[in-house]
C-alpha cells in the first residue's frame, strides 16, 4: 500500500505490535516477544521491558543476569530518588525471576514499574 496523505497504515493480520508482544509474553514465545519489542515498539515502557526480562529469566536463564542489570539501570534512570535499600530490594526481586519465587517477585516488580510510570 503506498504511503502519503490520506493513506492509513495497515496492521498485520496478527494486530497491533503491542498486542502481538503481549500475546507472545502470555504464551511464553521469547523469539516473537523480543523481535516485536525491538523492531515494532519504538518506546517500550518499563513494564514492557520487565515482562521481557521475566520471560528471558524463564526461557534463557544464562542471559538473565545481564538483562536484569539493564532493567535495574533503566529503573534507576526514571527513579531519581532511589536509595541503596531500593536498589537492593529491586535486585533481590530481579534475581528471583525464573526461580521458585518467580510469580511473587514479578508481581512486586510490576507494581514498582507501574508506580514509577504513573509518577512520571
User: What residue segments make up the domains of the chain, in order of their start?
Assistant: 46-119
Query: What does the pLDDT read at residue 119?
Result: 81
Phi/psi class of residue 41: alpha, beta or left (left: φ > 0; alpha: ψ in -120 to 50)? beta
Distance (Å, whole) CA 14 – CA 65:
32
* Separation of alpha carbons 105 and 50, rounded Å: 11
pTM: 0.84
- Phi first, then psi: give them for residue 80, nearest 5 degrees: -65, -20
Tens of pLDDT along the chain (120 residues)? 444 444 334 344 456 999 999 999 999 999 999 999 999 999 999 999 999 999 999 999 999 999 999 999 999 999 999 999 999 999 999 999 999 999 999 999 999 999 998 886
pLDDT confidence of residue 69: 98
Amino acid at each position: 500500500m503506498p504511503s502519503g496523505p490520506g493513506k492509513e497504515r495497515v496492521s498485520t493480520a496478527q494486530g497491533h505490535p503491542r498486542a502481538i508482544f503481549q500475546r507472545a509474553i502470555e504464551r511464553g514465545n521469547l523469539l516473537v516477544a523480543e523481535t516485536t519489542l525491538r523492531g515494532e515498539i519504538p518506546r517500550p515502557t518499563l513494564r514492557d521491558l520487565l515482562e521481557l526480562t521475566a520471560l528471558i529469566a524463564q526461557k534463557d536463564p544464562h542471559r538473565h543476569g545481564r538483562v536484569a542489570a539493564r532493567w535495574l539501570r533503566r529503573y534507576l534512570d526514571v527513579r531519581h530518588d532511589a536509595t541503596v535499600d531500593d536498589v537492593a530490594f529491586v535486585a533481590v526481586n530481579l534475581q528471583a525471576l525464573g526461580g521458585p519465587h518467580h510469580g511473587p517477585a514479578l508481581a512486586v516488580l510490576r507494581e514498582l514499574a507501574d508506580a514509577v510510570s504513573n509518577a512520571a
